[in-house]
Structure 1
Amino acid sequence: MSDVRTVIHDHDGGLDDILSLLLLTRYGNVALRGVTVTPADCLLAPALSVTRKVLAMTGLPHVPVAAGELQGRNPFPLEWRIDALRMDALPVLNRPGPLGGEPVDLPAHRQLAAWLLAAEAPVTVLATGPMTNLAWCLDRHPEVEPKIAEVVFMGGALDVPGNVDQPGHDGSAEWNIYWDPDAAQRVFDSGVPVTMFPLDITDLVPIIGEFACAFGEHYGNPVSDLAGTLLAMTFGTLETTGMPYCGWDSLTTSYLAVPDMFEFETARCRVVTTGPSQGRTVRDPAGRPVKCARTVDPDHFYKHCLATLT
């Protein structure tokens, strides 16, 4: 089918990244070519295990999974990264049966380059973590540019405060960019089409109790049980960090299935790569044009997730 997208999912193992992967496995218009896992908002080994178990559960055991080894400049807090350990122990992911997700020998950045170079038609890269692997590909293999139809990226904060609260930082950056600001700017410096979902729009879809608990009506279906459990595991974020847990990655992923749910603007922007504002995404008339999501109906998003995952 001509309207089917070939997608590579480059994620970093957080709760919402796995919810995004779960959504991808349900979309009829997505052909999942492979998954790369960046060791950013996760502990790598359990995040890889969770990824493979989700692919097995959803009938996609053939999809290859590559382990990331490149590191960013600013590590995520350990207390966030251990969510991967909790996910890996969930009963719904540990039913009898083999793991899915064919492991590959190449590290994620090299495997991503190999997949892109071998692509017969341009591929969509869904980046719900930092863009470190993609930046490496563009640096070392600039010939991959025409192989990329679109980079769909969760990251940035244009007209709202960031979500980084670290010593010496001014709080203006979003974490996926802050982890590796140079990588984000490298992708912005390229000619690949970028569609960005910044905090400006993802902040509109907090994970609310009514949404998470609605999955209980479908208890007994492994996919909906996992989705509801992942959402329940986000509770307490506001109380411990002062910031709500939002559907950052899952909202970004939903664009692949229902693009008309969003309104967009073209924003010229760049990334601050040094100093107390490093990782900040700023509007700049001399910056590169980015297709930036601006508005969404939260109820539409919640209903889309429920319909897709139940």
Structure 2
Amino acid sequence: MKQRTKVIIDTDVDFDDYMAMVYLMQNPDIDVIAIAVTGCGAVHLSKGVDNVANLLTLFGERALKTPVLRGAQAPLSFSNVFPADVRNGADLHYAAAFPGVNPSPAIYEAQSWLHDFFMHNDEPVTVLSIGGGTNFGTLFRSAQQNPALQAKLLSGIQQIVMMGGNILPRDISPGAEGNIVPTLGNNVIYRNTVAEWNIFIDPLGAQLMFASGVPMRLIALNATNDVPLDQDFVNQLNDINTPQAKFLSAVLAYPENAAGIGTYLSFWDPLAACTIQVPSLVSTQTFRLLVCQELNEEDDQSASLIVDNERGAAIEVAISADKNAVYTEFLRVLRLRLPDTCSSQ
């Protein structure tokens, strides 16, 4: 019998995080062993923890006790945040109804749970980082002062798959500009044109992850730009009559999300999730990277990725993706029916 890939998800519970989480929870080849929530990105922390706990009701009794980890409330550096309307939509789980309220969720403090898990874990684990680097950046920073934990992290984490960053046109052709300003619409509060949101939220957290020594595949904007979230995909998703697909359809129907379909939304986090089992969905290139930590309000380059062949960490970066193959893989898993799925609580 094929061994399932063990995955810890680290999420800021945005619309595309729901897509990634549902795909992995639905995937028979994946064993999601914990979901860590950060309050530094789209969702506020307490709302995010509650939303993830209740999301588990989509997957029946087998999933209700999946550990939900209460992570960071503030980034390790700067104070960059999503605009209020984005955070409000995430807090409201985009008006998509959960089957019910998780009656007794298994909620833990993230750093304590992660420390104890890795100190006693002997099986390889993949980390899917789709909410910025604060939670695992904090863990890796702690490990710098704890050689035993450092050794356990290096042996226990098989790989980190992180949605984040972009290789700029100055470093690759074709390059990818940042997505801070383009995704803000009328809420232009930042003038940073070179960063990607997950890394922009906490540049230091991302740098600590990069420098951890754990193998990393970065699903950059260079690849996600090849997989726009378009109406054809949404139509196919809407045709799937499962509770999980219906939930995602409702998330995407939320007005602010629906307005981005076919315009500025991409398959950000679900692309990262899909590559855990099907890495061939993307083409990659290895770069030695640093995350820019300097803030200059007149020419803000913070959180941009610096190619530095002397000081940078070797990171496998996804620079292109096969849109049709990605859609096919995601929808294949969403069409599966779970044997013990709850329809109500």
Tell me the alpha carbon deviations over residues 187-243 of structure 1, each in whole angstroms, 9 at most, x when there is no partner. 112211011001111111111111112223224x2111012222333221379xxx6
Does the 8 Å CA contact 2:230/2:261 hold for their aligned counterparts?
A: no
State the shift of 1:86 in Å: 3.0
Does the 8 Å CA contact 2:126/2:159 hold for their aligned counterparts?
A: yes
2:308 to 275, 281, 284: 284
Aligned-partner Cα distance in 1 for 2:307–2:321: 21
Aligned-partner Cα distance in 2 for 1:100–1:176: 31
Task: Specify the alignment match of 1:147 in structure 2.
Answer: 156
State the shift of 1:282 in Å: 2.2
Task: Specify the alignment match of 2:89 in structure 1.
Answer: 83
Tell me the alpha carbon deviations over residues 134-159 of structure 1, each in whole angstroms, 9 at most, x when there is no partner. 11111112332322110110000103
Task: Specify the alignment match of 1:249 in structure 2.
Answer: 269
Task: Specify the alignment match of 2:122 in structure 1.
Answer: 120
Does the 8 Å CA contact 2:223/2:282 hold for their aligned counterparts?
A: no
Identity of aligned residues (%): 25
Tell me the alpha carbon deviations over residues 1-30 of structure 1, each in whole angstroms, 9 at most, x when there is no partner. 564221110001101111111011112221
Does the 8 Å CA contact 1:7/1:30 hold for their aligned counterparts?
A: yes
Task: Specify the alignment match of 1:20 in structure 2.
Answer: 20
Aligned-partner Cα distance in 1 for 2:100–2:225: 38
Task: Specify the alignment match of 1:266 in structure 2.
Answer: 286
Name the TM-score, length of structure 1 as normaliser. 0.90
Aligned residues: 302
Does the 8 Å CA contact 1:70/1:132 hold for their aligned counterparts?
A: no
Moved more, 121-130 or 78-87: 78-87
Distance 1:274 1:99, change over 3 A: farther
Distance 1:100 1:189, change over 3 A: same
Name the TM-score, length of structure 2 as normaliser. 0.82
State the shift of 1:250 in Å: 0.3
Q: Which amino acid aligns with 2:89?
A: D
Aligned positions of 1:10-49 closer than 5 A: 10-39=10-39, 40-49=41-50
Tell me the alpha carbon deviations over residues 256-285 of structure 1, each in whole angstroms, 9 at most, x when there is no partner. 122222221111111101121110012222
Task: Specify the alignment match of 2:107 in structure 1.
Answer: 103
Secondary structure, counterpart of 1:138 in structure 2: helix
Task: Specify the alignment match of 1:235 in structure 2.
Answer: 258
Secondary structure, counterpart of 1:172 in structure 2: coil
Aligned-partner Cα distance in 1 for 2:157–2:31: 15
Does the 8 Å CA contact 1:52/1:99 hold for their aligned counterparts?
A: no
Cα RMSD over matched residues? 2.0
Moved more, 42-51 or 278-287: 42-51
State the shift of 1:50 in Å: 2.1
Aligned-partner Cα distance in 1 for 2:90–2:283: 33
Secondary structure, counterpart of 2:329 in structure 1: helix
Distance 1:293 1:65, change over 3 A: same
* Counterpart check, 1:71 vs 2:71: no
Secondary structure, counterpart of 2:46 in structure 1: helix
State the shift of 1:99 in Å: 4.2
Distance 1:257 1:134, change over 3 A: same
Name stretches of at least 5 consecutive residues in structure 2 with no aligned partner: 144-149, 168-174, 182-187, 336-345
